[in-house]
Amino acid sequence: MKTSFSIGNVEFKNRVLVASGTFGYGDEVKDLVDVNKLGGIVTKSLSWKPRDGNPPRRIVETPSGMLNSIGLANVGVHAFIREKLPYLRTLKTKIVVNIAASSVQEYCDVLTLLDTQEGVDAYEINVSCPNVKEGGLNFGTDCRMTREITAQLRPLTRKPLIIKLTPNVTHISEFARAVEDAGADAVSVINTLVGMAVDVRTRKPKLSTVTGGLSGPAIKPIALAKVYEVAQAVKIPVFGIGGIQSAEDAIEFLLVGATAVQVGTMNFVDATASARIVEEIREFAEKENLDDVGKLVGALDANIKHSVLQSWL
Amino acid sequence: MKTSFSIGNVEFKNRVLVASGTFGYGDEVKDLVDVNKLGGIVTKSLSWKPRDGNPPRRIVETPSGMLNSIGLANVGVHAFIREKLPYLRTLKTKIVVNIAASSVQEYCDVLTLLDTQEGVDAYEINVSCPNVKEGGLNFGTDCRMTREITAQLRPLTRKPLIIKLTPNVTHISEFARAVEDAGADAVSVINTLVGMAVDVRTRKPKLSTVTGGLSGPAIKPIALAKVYEVAQAVKIPVFGIGGIQSAEDAIEFLLVGATAVQVGTMNFVDATASARIVEEIREFAEKENLDDVGKLVGALDANIKHSVLQSWL
Amino acid sequence: MVQQLVRLESNQEIAQGMFLMRFDSRRIATSAQPGQFLNIRATQRWSPLLLRRPFSISRVVGSSIELLYNIVGKGTKALSAQIPGEEIDVLGPLGIPFRYDGLFETAVLVAGGLGIAPFPFLTDFLEKKKATIITFVGSRSLFKIDMLHLRNVQYATDDGSNGFRGNVVESLAEYLQEHTLTAPKIFGCGPTKMLSSLSRLAQAKELSCELSLEGDMACGIGICQGCPVERSNGTKKYALVCTDGPTFDCREIKLPSP
Amino acid sequence: MVQQLVRLESNQEIAQGMFLMRFDSRRIATSAQPGQFLNIRATQRWSPLLLRRPFSISRVVGSSIELLYNIVGKGTKALSAQIPGEEIDVLGPLGIPFRYDGLFETAVLVAGGLGIAPFPFLTDFLEKKKATIITFVGSRSLFKIDMLHLRNVQYATDDGSNGFRGNVVESLAEYLQEHTLTAPKIFGCGPTKMLSSLSRLAQAKELSCELSLEGDMACGIGICQGCPVERSNGTKKYALVCTDGPTFDCREIKLPSP
Ligand SMILES: Cc1cc2nc3c(=O)[nH]c(=O)nc-3n(C[C@H](O)[C@H](O)[C@H](O)COP(=O)(O)OP(=O)(O)OC[C@H]3O[C@@H](n4cnc5c(N)ncnc54)[C@H](O)[C@@H]3O)c2cc1C
Ligand SMILES: Cc1cc2nc3c(=O)[nH]c(=O)nc-3n(C[C@H](O)[C@H](O)[C@H](O)COP(=O)(O)OP(=O)(O)OC[C@H]3O[C@@H](n4cnc5c(N)ncnc54)[C@H](O)[C@@H]3O)c2cc1C
Ligand SMILES: Cc1cc2nc3c(=O)[nH]c(=O)nc-3n(C[C@H](O)[C@H](O)[C@H](O)COP(=O)(O)O)c2cc1C
Ligand SMILES: Cc1cc2nc3c(=O)[nH]c(=O)nc-3n(C[C@H](O)[C@H](O)[C@H](O)COP(=O)(O)O)c2cc1C
Ligand code: FES
Ligand code: FES
């Protein structure tokens, strides 16, 4: 059974990675799970300087989901290289370093520094960040800026450049096409959806930042539709992300066109889930008499003529 | 305790309505619940001709939510006037007729015909419909078209004109501002989110139309954030909709700025829920020593300076 | 139609994966008719699940209601975990019952798998009407349903381990070749595929036949439009399984061909 | 740290809304230290709920673990419905235990409400170390905790129905006025408001004081960054309750003022 896939000349041993911000830097869970079973680890977003993150409260549970407002708390790229990378380097799985920044220059600086380091296999760019120059407006909801970031980063590395798109836009496929055009090697779809929750007794928002990012099983149907839309629109690989709890969930993403998936929130509930999903996808493919898990990718049997009806919900 | 509110010269007895497509035409549930307890009934979307709706499968349950692809199956405006309106007219609650169409002309025709009828208190315009002229693209994701529909309908009636916005856009507040500007009396926020689900064994989409609309508790955090965004942007009243299961949920919507709420999917689970929510909101307001439920509207105690952080999820 | 919380009297696995649930509800017991269904939530175990699940009324005994169900997914799993004394939330009786027009003398009940669910109730009713009853039950393999209130059962199993080897519609077809029934009417319940071939058999033989359909439901009471089945004719393309059915004359509806 | 399914031995309401849960886990029992916690899911009842919930290890008896909890929301409600024989999913032991530096002779345990949870385990430990123990317990009204393994309990109730009338920190303050303790160290656990005033009292009196904090947690193991508490000094603004705590020296952290 072939389980691996490649992006550029980086070969991932299987199609299940863990999503940024949901697996720390890989060392926290090593007692619980053999992280070498994973297709890859996407690190927490790194910025140039360490970030404290937002004041509490940062986490709210919602029906089948959670809101978070971590504020990209991270150790910063220098401490990452000093303290985290040495351990990550010892692992037999691919390390995708996720980058977050508040200016195009900062994205470039972080990537350039990382590119001098051994042990970084690929980059994932988080564009759901405030553009400080434009008064904090989100880079990721501006197609021109998203393309610009990609275009600026592209020449700085020969390693795979993955752009992680936000779902909080009307036509996510426009963004995917723009970054494909600007030289991205892959896209990750989706980051969290903007949401909020209110404490009716205190009349205050439950999160210190009023709104936060919704993740977990609740968003899976939305994520699947976004991945399907993107996979139809671009030729580059798509990482499917959003609410994956089981191998069945992961396979849904593969079928609609994801080349691989990332498991996020579920890691908090059960850090062993991702490794189990790796195994169960292989078993599923065996039962279906496939010789390559990749044969599931894009294998959706959809009757396209119905797609116009989608608007008549 | 004052529970009522008005839009134009239409007074709703309380702030809890039932959402379009989730309560039929009011007659199906009369054995279970006293519909006169409700603030209002929004009818299923009506088009000029009857619509058969989409082929099965139309319903899929998802974690804390459901996908639907009904296809706006409805009896058509003529049969509505003949068969449904006479019963609705006997009710002591407000009747908001929801209109769906595939051209601006059709919206105008349906509204013009309804406006000759007694028993229609207000209109809610569903813009999540395919624009047949533009190849089935959704009216509601095009700000210019959404404004155009509003502007064309405005002069045709003196009754309240409520535009129901789709959440599947980047900045919903732009749409709210556009329709306010074009003369809408209120907006309803939100309609369903685009989502999908796949049967991994057959490899087919579970819904006949591939994608459908996600509703239910899963979407409540998203709906709240959209309502909050809209309520900050416009002066006209906002109907808050999305995943309301309890009085507490409804009050969250009021606090973020909804003038009233609509209960949707929960009616399928428990047709008595909406009337109970009416009662429980009153009890909550009493406990808080308010003399008017309206004092909850927009009473969120939010620290605005944090809002810039929202992008740093 | 009522919506009420009822307390379970029993909820037992009576055969492989098949459960019989019983609770008391005088209001449902006095108004229910064979072929109708209830829309149910297992309040103490359900919460991840949003929607109710529809189940045929399997039998009414005094003021007790019995349901018969298989574990097929999360809802039925949750239902099976509910223990006596716990509550479930019940809405019903719903839907159009099997029609009794007095024009038939032999009732031919045809069940695929859990399609037997509504037949104990129908059997009680037909016995009172003094109809002759013959019941065809199909299943994948050996299947013990002695404790169910059925009459004159003819088994069919895919593997031949019990009765006829083959599916239940083939078993009925063979029976009809070999026997002449007086004024028969067929009542069918089971998977859509099986109903579809039963419908073709009945129409080929010009036998009166009513089917009880399944469908994905959100509300069960006609407000969501979630449960369409294609009509054979008329101006409206679809009927609703929940309020126009679940029972239909087989000529009224167009099932997807198997 | 282990993640395992354990079968409940008991799960009983021992006082108004307060439950004591017990299960067997040699692996946790042999490695746990007072002040540590477990992150738990009630597998058979949890499904609507996504995240685990953190609970202090209340006592270790042989290879059995005891937890003490109040019903405050959906998770604790689901936990309370879990019956002996059913499984729960347990992750732990987690967090930094209470520090025992051997520098104190009198341990002053101060609990607000369910803040007593970690103290039976701590009491067992301190008794082995031959420390003198005095336990201050505050609650809204009369509150019977005789069955819990605590020593030398001084009650405070808001309504004066049991012991001191007022909150537990006021009760401690009065006690400290009237008594002189030899080499005391305070261990506090309870609502943030109470810990905040306890912290101010300890710092005013220059008493060594450790607090066990609560916080909204997603993972419990330092990967989500969901559980910050403000540090008093140093370059990093926040500590994580789950991995830097839940126990902190009261001078290390800045609690929101009450
Ligand atoms: C009018 C009516 C009467 C019924 N009576 C009975 C009965 O007496 N006993 C009984 O065991 N079952 C009966 N059913 C079917 C029963 O409703 C489903 O088995 C149940 O809803 C499955 O719920 P679940 O959560 O366990 O499965 P889910 O997790 O919802 O689904 C599991 C699998 O079952 C399929 N499925 C789900 N719902 C249905 C459905 N309604 N029909 C066919 N396949 C479905 C899904 O596609 C999926 O493959 C009836 C259905 C209807 C419409
Ligand atoms: C390290 C640690 C140890 C704990 N030990 C115990 C213990 O031994 N016994 C015990 O009963 N409880 C303990 N708690 C608190 C316990 O985790 C919460 O009561 C529980 O998570 C509530 O879950 P729920 O689903 O019932 O409530 P939810 O439905 O999640 O919340 C209900 C209400 O409780 C509040 N709440 C939720 N979680 C917390 C929390 N972590 N802290 C404070 N308020 C909260 C919410 O804001 C809400 O108002 C501990 C918490 C931590 C962090
Ligand atoms: C607590 C938390 C922290 C996250 N941090 C990051 C981050 O630093 N960078 C990033 O690109 N995505 C981050 N994400 C988003 C996830 O990587 C993922 O895209 C999203 O949660 C959807 O997947 P899920 O539903 O499986 O969690 C975070 C998500 C959560 C829940
Ligand atoms: C089955 C179903 C049918 C619906 N039909 C309509 C409709 O005809 N017109 C409309 O404007 N909205 C329709 N809606 C959307 C609801 O009115 C509501 O906006 C949405 O479901 C979100 O609210 P909820 O989460 O409370 O269900 C429908 C929703 C569902 C679930
Ligand atoms: S189930 Fe809702 S209309 Fe039939
Ligand atoms: S709970 Fe996840 S970091 Fe503390």
CATH of the domain at B58: 3.20.20.70
User: For C81, which residue in chain D has the nearest alpha carbon?
Assistant: D44
| Distance, CA of A102 to CA of A105 (rounded, Å) | 8
pLDDT at C257 over 80: no
pLDDT at C209 over 50: yes
Mean pLDDT of chain C: 92
Give A306's pLDDT tier (boundaries 50, 70, 90): very low
Single-letter amino acid, residue B208:
S
Query: C124 near C106, Cβ under 8 Å?
Result: no
- What is the crossing angle of helices A273-287 and A247-255, to 10°? 60
Query: D98 near D122, Cβ under 8 Å?
Result: yes
Query: C186 near C197, Cβ under 8 Å?
Result: no
Mean pLDDT over B89-113 rounds to: 97
A101-121 pLDDT, tens digit per residue, is: 999 999 999 999 999 999 999
Q: What is the percentage of chain D residues whose pLDDT exceeds 70?
A: 95
Distances (CA, A) of A201 to A21, A204, B285: 31, 8, 11
Give D215's pLDDT tier (boundaries 50, 70, 90): confident
pLDDT at B309 over 60: no
pLDDT for B310: 46
Least confident piece of the model among A303-307, C21-25, C99-103, D60-64: A303-307
Q: Which positions in chain C touch B22 (Cβ < 8 Å)?
A: 223-224
C57-68 pLDDT, tens digit per residue, is: 999 999 999 999
Domain count, chain A: 1
Most informative mutation of A61, A67, A200, A269 for ligand 2 (most atoms within 8 A of CB): A61
pLDDT at B253 over 70: yes
pLDDT at D44 over 80: no
β-strands B161-164, B122-126 pairing? parallel
pLDDT for B307: 47
Give C4's pLDDT tier (boundaries 50, 70, 90): very high
Torsion angle of alpha carbons A25, A28, A32, A38, nearest 10°?
Answer: 0
pLDDT at A254 over 50: yes
Of residues B302 and B311, more confidently modeled: B302
pLDDT for D143: 67
pLDDT at C250 over 50: yes
Of residues C194 and B310, more confidently modeled: C194
pLDDT for C83: 87
Mean pLDDT over C209-216 rounds to: 94
pLDDT at D213 over 50: yes
CA of D245 relative to ligand 2 center, distance in Å: 16
List the subunits that have 3+ CB pairs under 8 angstroms with A. Answer: B, D
Query: B50 near B81, Cβ under 8 Å?
Result: no
CA distance B159 to chain A (A): 26
In the CATH hierarchy, which top-level class contains the domain D2-94? mainly beta
List the subunits that have 3+ CB pairs under 8 angstroms with C. Answer: B, D
Give C213's pLDDT tier (boundaries 50, 70, 90): very high
Q: Which of A65, A130, A219 sits opposite B311 (nearest CB)?
A: A130
pLDDT at B81 over 60: yes
| Distance, CA of D204 to CA of A127 (rounded, Å) | 48
Residue bearing tokens 């809204």: D140
pLDDT for A292: 98
B216-241 pLDDT, tens digit per residue, is: 999 999 999 999 999 999 999 999 99
The ligand whose atoms approach the alpha carbon of A201 most closely is: 2
pLDDT for D163: 87
CA D162-D168-D173 angle, 5° bins: 115
Domain range spanning residue B287? 5-310
Most informative mutation of C56, C72, C194 for ligand 1 (most atoms within 8 A of CB): C72
pLDDT for D141: 73
A219-252 pLDDT, tens digit per residue, is: 999 999 999 999 999 999 999 999 999 999 999 9
B90 part of contact set with chain A, CB < 8 Å: no
| Distance, CA of A227 to CA of A233 (rounded, Å) | 10
* Ligand 3 nearest atom to the CA of residue A42, by list position: 17
CB atoms within 10 A of CB A172: 23
pLDDT for A304: 58
pLDDT for D146: 66
pLDDT for C48: 67
**Quick check: ipTM above 0.85?**
yes
A67 part of contact set with chain B, CB < 8 Å: yes
The ligand whose atoms approach the alpha carbon of A218 most closely is: 3
| Distance, CA of B148 to CA of B109 (rounded, Å) | 15
pLDDT at A310 over 90: no
Q: What is the percentage of chain D residues whose pLDDT exceeds 90?
A: 74
- Range of C134-143, D74-83, D226-235 with top mean pLDDT: D226-235
User: Closest Cα to residue D219, out of D239, D240, D192, D238?
Assistant: D240
Candidates A120, A129, A162, A223; catalytic one: A129
| Distance, CA of A246 to CA of A284 (rounded, Å) | 12
Q: What is the percentage of chain A residues whose pLDDT exceeds 90?
A: 90
Mean pLDDT of chain A: 94
pTM of the model: 0.96
A148-189 pLDDT, tens digit per residue, is: 999 999 999 999 999 999 999 999 999 999 999 999 999 999
pLDDT for D42: 85
Give B313's pLDDT tier (boundaries 50, 70, 90): very low
Give C146's pLDDT tier (boundaries 50, 70, 90): low
Give A61's pLDDT tier (boundaries 50, 70, 90): very high
pLDDT for D16: 80
Give B201's pLDDT tier (boundaries 50, 70, 90): very high
A17-45 pLDDT, tens digit per residue, is: 999 999 988 888 888 999 999 999 999 99
Phi–psi pair at B239, nearest 5 degrees: -90, 120
Mean pLDDT over D156-176 rounds to: 90
Three-state SS at B39: coil
Domain range annotation of chain C: 2-94
